Structure 1
Amino acid sequence: MFTKYLQDAFKVPLVIQLTDDEKSIWKKLPVEEAKRLARENAKDIIACGFDISRTFIFSDFGCVGGPFYENMIKFSSNITGNQLRGIFGITLEDPAAKISFPATQAVPSFPSSFPHLFTGKDNLRCLIPCAIDQDPYFRMTRDVAPKIGYQKPALIESSFFPALQGDTGKMSASDPNSAIYVTDSADDIKYKIERHAFSGGGKSGKEHSYLQFFLDDDTELEYIEKEYGSGRMLSGGTRGIKTRIIEVLTELVEKHCKARAAVTEAMVDAFMAVRPLPKMFD
């Protein structure tokens, strides 16, 4: 959603990498299953409303080769095994695929990896919106880029959503009550927020709510913070913070589910087609 805002605000081309190879390597998934999941991820991404005339989505299994692979070799030639061990904790006991993957993650930062988009534009700089766990990859990329003739990428890093149980909890796939999913029904969301969302109090409602991420109205958010801090607003009840969180998340998830249901396999193919984007800077 934030990346879509950046594309809308600056009218710039967007390249989205689906790391299906990473899923296969780290989660030990069969290649075909990792590729299937990548297409499902693409449907959720497309449902956010990206501009197809400015957006290219690719999967690593489908795209690695040619200039992309050339950049991987250039990049890998400037990183030692000791550096990979220091950055990622990779050891000689790990699968060799883990050693080669960091370069795959890095080189989409370089325009020459996509000659169908950026031929003659090798000096373009890349902005990467990402979560904080991706920081090691792109610190590494910023270190290597000048050595092989490219601009350093810039990053906007986001924090993680807290688990529903609060900052001390952890989202876990084995605990469906630790998070809200975009596949949850309105009843699921209501149940999870009322029964499992942390409500231990604090100086502000923002300290333990999803409203800071999803409520666009800053004036309302400030009002809630003051009301909760003063004790005039509680976590529960018909006018409590949890009720507002349920309203906001239900609206967001239902909107997303409706948009995703409209995404066809043909639309995924269109976004992932290797093609020029002639109006990507208009």
Structure 2
Amino acid sequence: MVEISKRVTCNQVVGIFGFIGEDHIGKYSFPPVQAAPSFPSSFPHLFSGKDNLRCLIPCAIDQDPYFRMTRDVAPRIGYHKPALIESLFFPALQGETGKMSASDPNSAIYVTDSEKDIKNKINKYAFSGGQDSIEKHRQLGANLEEYGAGRMLTGEVKQRLIEVLTKLVERHRRARAAVTDEMVDAFMAVRPLPNMFN
């Protein structure tokens, strides 16, 4: 992070991220934190002696500025430029025009949601793509198989979704409850991964 920081000026960061003089210092210091995992030296326990490795970063468009900065810095610190695979945001419950966001708890179904939460979010917030009335929906349908043909109504689709998600979240909840502190410690331990390059 220090090597990256020494090679990016405040003017560059302002130009890339749009920071202003009133922004706190944390904003200026975060881009090198985001960039550092692009390089093998950040993981000596995995990549010791393999400084010629290349990095492929799957990300959404909001992360692009960090890695454009990283691509500029990489050759100046002796590494390959990372490559990006940019993907679309997973749409929010409310439809394709928004994205799931932790700041809007109703934009997604979380694995910690109760059965009641799931039912409420789907019935109240989930965008269905159906028509405004039963008559219009039966006549015009939507764009999904039985639903699209008008043979299923929005409420029926949402009820099926509630059933499927409730089972899935409950299965996850049981599995999560079985995880011990020892399992987490073992999983999070800094360690080499055997046979990584075999």
TM-score (norm 1): 0.58
Q: Residue deviations 1:57-112, cap 9 Å, x none? A: xxxxxxxxxxxxxxx22212221211211221222322222211111110111001
Pair 1:145-2:74 in alignment:
yes
Judge conservation of contact 2:90–2:99 (CA < 8 Å) in 1. no
Displacement of 1:235: 1.8
- Aligned-partner Cα distance in 2 for 1:184–1:162: 18
Displacement of 1:173: 5.4
Q: State, as a whole percentage, how many aligned pairs show the same letter.
A: 74
Aligned to 1:19: none
Displacement of 1:119: 0.9
Q: Residue deviations 1:200-230, cap 9 Å, x none? A: 437xxxxxxxxxxxxxxxxxxxxx7233333
Displacement of 1:169: 5.5
Aligned to 1:161: 90
- Aligned-partner Cα distance in 2 for 1:255–1:158: 28
Pair 1:275-2:197 in alignment:
no
Query: What is the aligned-residue RMSD (CA, Å)?
Result: 2.5
Displacement of 1:191: 2.5
* Alpha carbons of structure 1 residues 99 and 256: separation in structure 2 relative to 1, 3 Å: same
Aligned to 2:51: 122
* Alpha carbons of structure 1 residues 174 and 146: separation in structure 2 relative to 1, 3 Å: closer
Q: Secondary structure at the match of 1:253?
A: helix
Q: Residue deviations 1:89-139, cap 9 Å, x none? A: 222322222211111110111001221211111111122233332222112
In structure 1, stretches of 5+ residues that fail to align are: 1-71, 203-223
One-letter amino acid matched to 2:192: P
- Aligned-partner Cα distance in 2 for 1:107–1:162: 29
2:149 to 230, 250, 259: 230
Q: Specify the structure having the higher radius of gyration (Cα).
A: 2
Q: Secondary structure at the match of 1:236?
A: helix
Aligned to 1:111: 40
* Alpha carbons of structure 1 residues 149 and 262: separation in structure 2 relative to 1, 3 Å: same
Moved more, 154-163 or 135-144: 154-163
Q: Residue deviations 1:3-28, cap 9 Å, x none? A: xxxxxxxxxxxxxxxxxxxxxxxxxx
* Aligned structure 1 segments of 4 or more residues deviating by more than 6 angstroms: none
One-letter amino acid matched to 1:193: I
Pair 1:191-2:120 in alignment:
yes
State the aligned residue count.
187
TM-score (norm 2): 0.79
Q: Residue deviations 1:143-174, cap 9 Å, x none? A: 22122221222233333333322245665657
In structure 2, stretches of 5+ residues that fail to align are: 132-142
Displacement of 1:176: 3.9
